Structure 1
Amino acid sequence: MGGFYGVGGKILLRQYRDYQSGFANWQQKQHAKDWLLYPQNLGTHLSLDETSLSQGELYTILTNKAARGGKGSIVAIVAGTKAETVIEILRKLSENQRKKVKEITLDMAGNMALIAKKCFPKAIQVTDRFHVQQLALEAVQTMRVEYRWQALEAENEALEQATFNQIDYQPELLTNGDTVKQLLARSRYVLYKKAPDWTESQRERAALLFERYPELKAAYELSQALSHIFEATTDKLYGLGRLAKWHEKVRQAGFKAFNTVARSIQNHYETILNYFDNRSTNASAESFNAKIKAFRAQFRGVSNVEFFLYRLTQLYA
């Protein structure tokens, strides 16, 4: 656009930023890099999450679910994830306003729970079900990666032995054309998806994978069973019973990665079970994070954090 008028793009952007956009007179400009507050957007149902704006720097973001990711979504943006810092900023909101918050969804991070407890004492905390399910999916991937390293080591040993014996090494080819290490590498997305959503090639790959690694099949079924509990259960008491049965299956399976997942769930039982009251999730916060990433991509990165935040708040605050 700048080239059309014979003006360099950087000059045009600077002119827009400094004179046309309203950025120079932004009331929150002085402290924007550290925190932003929009008390008028505070609602009764909130989401608390973290995201990266630039170069891996994390910001804690509080959003109002009622805005559905549009205008009025942003309640607060605070640099960093340190609980004490975020609490200090959020307490700038009036106590009466904060006490009106009824529910807040968050992940299982201890700092997030502390922020919610100290700033919104009347709000019910709900651990986001998708974070819980993600733990189980990552446990499956941990096992897959371990098997892949074993396959790589076995192939290296076989190749060295073949070289020593001065014979050609030919890796085992499976019926779908994969080698064992390729099977494990290419099964990553298969293990994230539900079986009904597999393509024909993914279904074939899964059958080969589970035939060779039955423990990986058992782990995949455990992760899918956990997802099914959240999807198919509407009663809190029934949800507690089903989670207890799932824990027993994990104990019987004896998978180290899943034992860690089970312990994490046990440590957050109360807030996880609160999901079944209203089936509240942090989906709106994750959607908002996706919008931030898309907005950042349009900027081709963030060179001026304050101006990026200004543009962001013009759209969503």
Structure 2
Amino acid sequence: MDNKPLNLATVGYVFGLEPKSIYSWYRNILSGFAEEVSSGEFHKYDMKHSDSSTLPVPILKPEHTGTSMVLDENMTNDQMYTILSNRETKKIALLAQTLQLEHLCALTRHFGDSAEKGQLLNSDMSPVYLKFCRTVFPNAMLTADKFHVISQVLESPQAVRLRLKAQELAKLPTKKRKARQQSQETEHAEEGKRIETRIEMLSRCRYLLLKRAKDWWPWQAVRAKQLFALFPKLHHAYKLVEQLRDWYGRTNIGKTLMAWRKPYFNGLRMLRLEALLKRKHGL
């Protein structure tokens, strides 16, 4: 239960036990939580501020640090927490209700020399977390969390789509533009009787761009062909994302990095150059 998340209702069903009973046994006996509360270890490192407020730090255990660590954020009861855990043992070294760099650095001073054991540190691409990693774990190699990488990559075609849509809207006369922004016109009755406008195509392709091309339905493939014929830049952005997702696939990791890297970064250079030229000429 410490290593892998389990549904207590499922466990209770299998063993013929009440989920509440299993939770009570785990919380009060197996987890060691009750002993830590009674001994004062739980919340021992809470930070006191000058204004009498307290920053909750439920867990701070330097002995749980190791060579491979994971840094992440989590929301619990509408509050954001930073979690630093050991990838190998699955034990938490730090759990603190803060995302601020100064707080995290102050708390990890309790780690002493144990932070030097870190050789590999996995984190998202938050500037705060990246700076924290370099400050506290100077000997560790940083790796970006795959979930956050893919999430940001998937947003790239959406950014291109919205930019193209804004350009199309800008071409409309002012009155028509305001009318379209206030109401998306009556589409239901005439839906199958007229050809989609360029703006409508860009509005309706959001979920299409999130799917892999191999997972498209036949009608989606037709729509994509029409869309990309009208908007080559969107097609280019989508192809770059597809290439990255292929490279991130389990079967390709470590095999096609260099083959993918060169055309991808060449594509990025072209996009940056285009952005600089537009900014320079006020476009």
SS at match of 1:66: coil
Partners of 1:183 and 1:98 in 2: CA distance: 52
Query: Following TM superposition, by how much is the alpha carbon of 1:158 offset from its aligned partner in structure 2, in angstroms?
Result: 7.9
Distance 1:161 1:100 in 2: 60
> Aligned to 1:59, what secondary structure does the other structure show?
strand
Matched residues, number: 228
- In the other structure, the counterpart of 1:103 is 120
What is residue 268 of structure 2 aligned with on the other side? Answer: 250
Matched position secondary structure for 2:88 = helix
> What amino acid sits opposite 2:254 in the alignment?
T
- Code of the aligned partner of 2:140: A
Correspondence for 1:44: 67
Quote how far apart the aligned CAs of 1:133 are: 3.8
2:225 aligns to what?
207
Q: Distance in 2 between matches of 1:133 and 1:227?
A: 8
Pairing of 1:222-301 with structure 2 (within 5 A): 222-231=240-249, 232-234=252-254, 239=257, 242-253=260-271
1:56-75 to 2 correspondence within 5 Å? Answer: 57-67=79-89, 72-75=90-93
Identity percentage over the alignment? 25
Match status 1:137 vs 2:143 = no
Give the C-alpha shift of residue 85 in structure 1: 1.2
Q: SS at 1:93's partner residue? A: helix
8 Å CA contact 2:115–2:137 kept in 1: the answer is yes
**Any idea what the Cα deviations from partners look like across 1:116-168, whole Å, max 9, x if unmatched?**
22322332222334434433322211111123334556677585899xxxxx9
Change (3 A) 1:240 1:80: farther
The residue type equivalent to 1:65 in the other structure is R
Counterparts in 2 of 1:39 and 1:255: CA distance versus 1, 3 Å? same
Deviations 1:185-226 (A, max 9, x none): 332222122111223343233223212222111111122223
| Counterpart for residue 190 of structure 1 | 208
Runs of 5+ consecutive residues of structure 2 not aligned to the other structure: 1-23, 47-53, 180-184, 276-283
Closer, same or farther: CA 117–24 of 1 in aligned 2, 3 Å: closer
CA contact (8 A) 1:101 1:122 kept: yes
Instruction: Please tell me the residue identity of whatever aligns with 1:99.
Output: E
Residue 90 of structure 1 corresponds to which residue in structure 2?
108
Cα offsets for 1:223-263 (capped at 9, x unmatched) = 2223333443416xx73564233211222355768xxxxxx
> Are residues 174 and 218 of structure 1, via their aligned partners in 2, closer, same or farther at CA, if it must alter by over 3 Å?
farther
Amino acid at match of 2:257: G
Give unmatched runs, 5+ long, in structure 1. Answer: 1-15, 163-167, 258-317
Q: If each structure's helix is expressed as a fraction of its own residues, which one has the higher value?
A: 1
Whole-Å separation in 1 of the counterparts to 2:253 and 2:177: 53
Distance in 2 of aligned mates of 1:157 and 1:221 = 34
Kept in 2: contact 1:173–1:179 (CA 8 A): no
Report the CA distance shift for 1:111/1:152 in structure 2 as closer, same or farther (over 3 A): same
AA partner of residue 119 (structure 1): V
Partner of 1:28: 42
Match of 2:7 in 1: none
Q: Which amino acid is the alignment partner of residue 56 of structure 2?
A: D
Partner of 1:165: none
- Is the Cα–Cα contact under 8 Å of residues 65 and 117 in structure 2 kept in the other structure? no
Out of 91, 94, 99, the residue aligned to residue 76 of structure 1 is 94
- Separation in 1 of the partners of 2:242 and 2:132? 31
The CA distance in 2 between the partners of 1:243 and 1:38, in whole Å, is 40
Looking at structure 1, the residues matched to 229 and 115 of structure 2 have their Cα atoms a distance apart, in angstroms, of 54
Q: What CA RMSD, in Å, does the superposition of the two structures yield over aligned residues? A: 4.0
Q: d(CA) in 2 for partners of 1:115 and 1:155?
A: 48
Post-superposition Cα deviations, 1:255-276, rounded to whole Å, max 9, x if no partner, equal 768xxxxxxxxxxxxxxxxxxx
CA contact (8 A) 2:43 2:56 kept: no
User: Secondary structure at 1:91's aligned position in 2?
Assistant: helix
Q: Is the 8 A contact 2:68 2:87 kept in 1?
A: yes
Higher relative CO (Cα under 8 Å, sequence separation at least 6) belongs to 1
Deviation at 1:88, TM superposition (A): 1.4
| 1:121 matched residue in structure 2 | 138
Distance 1:84 1:137, change over 3 A: same
**Residue of structure 2 equivalent to 1:148:** 165
One-letter identity of the residue aligned with 1:209: L
